[in-house]
Amino acid sequence: RHGIMRRLITFRCDSATLAGTLDTGDATTGLLIVSGGNEVRHGAHRGMAMLALGVAARGTPVFRYDRRGVGDSEGENRGFAHAGDDLRAAAAAFRQAAPHVTRFYAFGNCDAATLLALEGPSAGIERVLLANPWTIEQADDLPPAAAIRAGYAQQLRDPAEWRRLLRGGINIGKVFKGLWKIVRARSQPNNLATKVTNAIAEWGDAATVLLARDDNTARAFADAARAHVFTTLTIDTSSHSFARAADKQALADIVTRWLER
């Protein structure tokens, strides 16, 4: 194990002061972890802080940060679609804090993966590991069409669901709404999905996609990406944030192997 020092770092993004955490390491490849949603930099269930510690223990320096308006960072939280400047500022802060690093890789989950796919090149990121990229343009409170299809397919294979249907235990109105969403999804373009999948395609072999097998966001991405062939890894879980102990270990193993490529 390497001697790890965890440093708290502040840096500027426009007029705001942002907070970051560096777990030190001697390797010349560094990992930038980008938080998804409105999560602070330690991640759901402290998952990203634990991942960073494990990666740094193998010698790889890891930098995490809170974007504007999240956690310990100042400014207005305008969501991932407006977080490109935050990403570029964090990458610059990482370079300044770890000047021996010559190759910068990045990992993000959900809309952080989407942000990295779209804005990673402008931040000088060379390789990305994109977990459950966000491609959903939500217009209602139903799950994504791909998740509805998967759910219906599973129910049709279950005799108990047919018995529920015959007894009137299934909301037919909700079923029709789901079917209509599936039909509508085939005819309406999803501009975000197109942008994200095309952006990942432009990364070529420098992008790896990681999907939680039974996660709705992952299903929506896989459906949107059918026209592309990406390097894709899968963890057998329904946890979007890889929250279970086995998921955390699987994620750590994947990140470790990916960093060594």
Name the one residue in this structure whose structure tokens are 């491609």.
135
Q: Can you give the three-state secondary structure of 70-138, one letter per residue?
A: CCCCCCCCCCHHHCHHHHHHHHHHHHHHCCCCCEEEEEEECHHHHHHHHHHHHHCCCEEEEECCCCCCC
| Residues whose CB falls within 8 Å of the CB of residue 254, separated by 6 or more in sequence, listed in order | 129, 210, 233, 235
- Angle at the Cα of 118 from the Cα atoms of 116 and 120, rounded to 5 degrees: 45
Does the structure show a pLDDT above 90 at 185?
no
Whether the predicted pLDDT of 208 surpasses 70: yes
Please report which confidence band the pLDDT of residue 44 belongs to, taking 50, 70 and 90 as the band edges.
Answer: confident
Query: ∠ at Cα 103 (260, 131), nearest 5°?
Result: 60
* pLDDT tens digit sequence for 123-164: 999 999 999 999 998 654 555 555 555 554 555 566 665 556
Query: According to the model, what pLDDT value does residue 183 have?
Result: 47
DSSP, collapsed to helix, strand or coil, labels residue 208 as strand
Structural domains of the chain ordered from first start: 6-137+191-259 (3.40.50.1820), 145-186 (no CATH)
